[in-house]
Structure 1
Amino acid sequence: MLLFFAKYGNHLKMWDIRNGIEQITLSGHTGPISAAVLKPDGMRVVSASKDNTLGVWDIISGKLLYFLSGHTGPVNSVALTPDGILAVSASDDHTLRVWDVVTGKSLRILSGHAGPVGLVTTAMDGTLAVSTSDDQTLGVWDIQTGKLIHIFSGHTSPISSLAVTPDGTRVVSASKEMIGVWDLVAGKLLFMFSTGHPLPIKSVLVTLDGTRMISVPQQGVMKVWDLTSCQELILQPLNFHALFQERYL
């Protein structure tokens, strides 16, 4: 079944996108839902909420399986490892947490950011997590040990989006009209450049082959860039509101 999730305050709604019919509403959070991610097997969804918890849901029955509790501030983002076993959450309490989605247990706390943690994503091999913080830095973490491997500094405004390349060697981050490209192996900045977007970047995407990235502003023209040289390749006029974030195209 093809499904689509959308946040409605404290609830998640699910539709069959083939016919647009609402299938189920997932209710249980006491605060607004900030993010949700579907497990690769399509059987469960993990939600992050401003009520300081995450929820794990069975999407067939709509039943809440359990809450993941431990954060002391709103949970802003959640990402899964590609096998769907571990979840990594980012919170206003300045930490990330690693959870076992199967058992609902908290495995480890990732500490090192000096401000609230806004975004988190994982590498395709499931070994690394990359986070963003209100302190305008990115953190690179070993998911299995909880060790902070790198802190990347260079942005001068809040980071709005990030994406790890499929091979796990680079991460791309966006803030206002700027894009940063970072080497995850060497732990250094490769490029920081202005996209020329008149409005802030909403999303940055990486192609599946890892050769190109796409910057999507809040409204207006998205741009395509060579990921090695950071030279602009294509201009595609498209007027729209960038509503969704996807890791790869």
Structure 2
Amino acid sequence: MTPPEQTPLSWHDPGLWLAPLIMLLAFTTILLSGSNQSLFLLVNHGATQLPDAWWENLTVLGDSLVTVTLLSFFVRSHPQMVRAALIAIVLTLLWVHGLKPLLAIARPPAVLDPALFHIIGPAHRSGSFPSGHTAAIFTLAGLIILHCRGTRLAIIMALLIATLTGLSRIAVGVHWPLDLLAGAFGGWMSAAIATVITARWHGRHPRITGLLIIALLGGCALTLLMVQPEYLHATTLQRVIASSALFMLGYATWRQITTSG
């Protein structure tokens, strides 16, 4: 059974601020203690206890095209959340691609001796801060949590998957811990701002809006189905997500058309 969509939060609700405050506290602690590099090495080495394929499949969940395609599974059950996602995506893109060129922080492969840590996949060297993958998955997780907060399982699963996806960016060797926290903060705040903005936005033409959203997500799903993933072990997962999304969107389209009269 799909969890019911809750009334979105207001700016005064403490549930909106707990997660970003924890992220800011962790960010400040790591920054002031100078433990960014040592923590990276600790997590990266610990991650080698699991197969590379595990981390490749997790990290692909933070790919922006995958994250947007995952919204297809909420088109029917949580339309308000999907509408909020349209704004959240724009805000997340501004956060990530505004800070990356401005700060121009080097990634671990450009700073550390390759013999010191484990790299999975491409060894990206520039544009480290913030982590785009972490921002994307925490945008989705934030939207799910803020719109389905009456369902504890949904909250736990969203936080768990988002956190593991973020940690996978250290496991594959391309991001520092501070990158993850900044990405998570930006993603969560984008979801929160979008949720508040769209709290009472229902639109004048909900069916037309719904079909346009379905078309947009369908284009993303088709693209995802055709492109080769950056991490080859994630090929099957990526295709399963894309195919399942197309099925869900097809059903949503049929429901939109058959109930329009």
How would you bin the TM-score normalised by the shorter chain?
under 0.3
Scaled by the length of structure 2, the TM-score of the pair is 0.22
- Which structure features the higher share of helix residues? 2
- Which structure features the higher share of strand residues? 1
